[in-house]
Structure 1
Amino acid sequence: MIKTLAQEWKQAGVQDGDILLLHSNIKRTFKRYLKIGIKLSANDILMSFIDAVGTKGTLILPLFNFDFTKGVPFDIRNTPSQMGAITEAARMYPCAIRTGHPIYSFAVIGHHASKFENIDNYSGYGADSPFALLKDLDGKIAVLDLPDQNSMTFYHHVEEMLEVDYRYHKTFCADYMNASAEQSKKEYGLFVRDLDKGVVTHVNPAGELMWEAGLYSGDRPKEGTGLRVISAQKMYDFVSDLINTGKAINTLYRVEGVDGV
């Protein structure tokens, strides 16, 4: 069954040796297989993606947890992911490494995991973040049964690299416990949307444009396997062009609740 799932992911565009960032909603995959009498676990689905990228591949899953923004202490060894069961399975996977940002951390499994091991990026989407390394390593982003709006955090990496004027840098501070169980007060940043200007993230239109441009392979959410795949570099270039040509508004964001809008 793991092999069968892995073959589905390959048909959608996953290849042996890929460095793959996966965002996912696994509910429909569970239901698809229950209809044929197979009860999957989150670990089964995780293993199928590990199988799909192969022994030379690397799988990256988001372990995002937003409690640090509220002053809640972060423990890199124990703070759970808030991104669903498959991401928790990845966090607990033997030899998985966890990157250091307390809000936007990742579990990394596989051949190139060591390249991510010492990442403790200050800004969640910054030039020293796993998003940047994913692009530099010619990685891919896969999304299972989620719209861009609810998955594609990589948009914000591009926005930060281009210092868009509808977001700004904000800092958060709380207790932080590292892998050696050493605790200290630490400060981290995020490039957040400007709420005072009524900025609302609105990226599904950009996703449609990437479909039209042929940048996605695989299936749309809730269709077929539900998995789509895109090159991180190609997405970066495409989104950069939207921003640089003045097309970000109503494609990457919109403005609400300001001046009667």
Structure 2
Amino acid sequence: MKLKSRIKFKKWNKYLFEFLSIFLAVTLAFLLDRWNDERKNNIAENKILKEIYNGLERDSLDIANDEQYFKIAFRGLNYFSDIIDGKTIKNDSLVMFYYLFSRENIVVQNKSGYESLKSKGLETIKSDSLRSKIINLYEVDYELARKFNEEHSEYKFMPNYFHRINQFIAPNFKYDTTYNLVGIKLPLVLKKTERNLLKSYLWKIGVGKSDRYRASQNRKKKIGNLRKEIKEYLNTRNE
């Protein structure tokens, strides 16, 4: 009986060892696959965040260029307001201001990083707070900027106001022998109603450009904060 008990015990030990070996192998394989998936997800998250970070840097540079455009456009509005009022102006600034004062600036948005994120899956970004801020910037702020610049008729300054203003100003332009614009003959001969009408056009352009300038400054602030948060998040992940 003792011999049989020993044999049975050895068999159970053998089965238990085999079971534990198989269980351990399966568990290790599962953990290894999970580790590999986690590592791949981390690599994908880092790559996408870096792409978004670099895209936002380019957007910041575009906004900085827009700031220069707005500054010149606002000066141009004052310049033509002075012309309408019959004040002395510098003719050498005429061409630049004539070209820019009613021109729309083009909004360029670098969305390749965000498109990569959507393609991979928004959950690739593990931080709920960071993911929410990225979505809000691209889906709300960027989309509003696009709609105001491309679809909102009220901000189409060139078709709305350029020709109305130009019909009173252009007849007074002076050109050189090669038809380059070199100055304007002043004072403009305008009735009070015409002067007031022109002033209202300039006011409307100024209000519209001020709205868009403030919106671009708000985007600039959000972009700066988001880039800072992405950088801090990546540094924490890579420590």
- TM-score above 0.5: no
Specify which structure has the bigger relative contact order, considering alpha-carbon pairs within 8 angstroms and separated by 6 or more residues.
2
* Larger CA Rg, structure 1 vs 2: 2
TM-score (norm 1): 0.23
Structure richer in helix, relative to its length: 2
Structure richer in strand, relative to its length: 1
TM-score (norm 2): 0.25
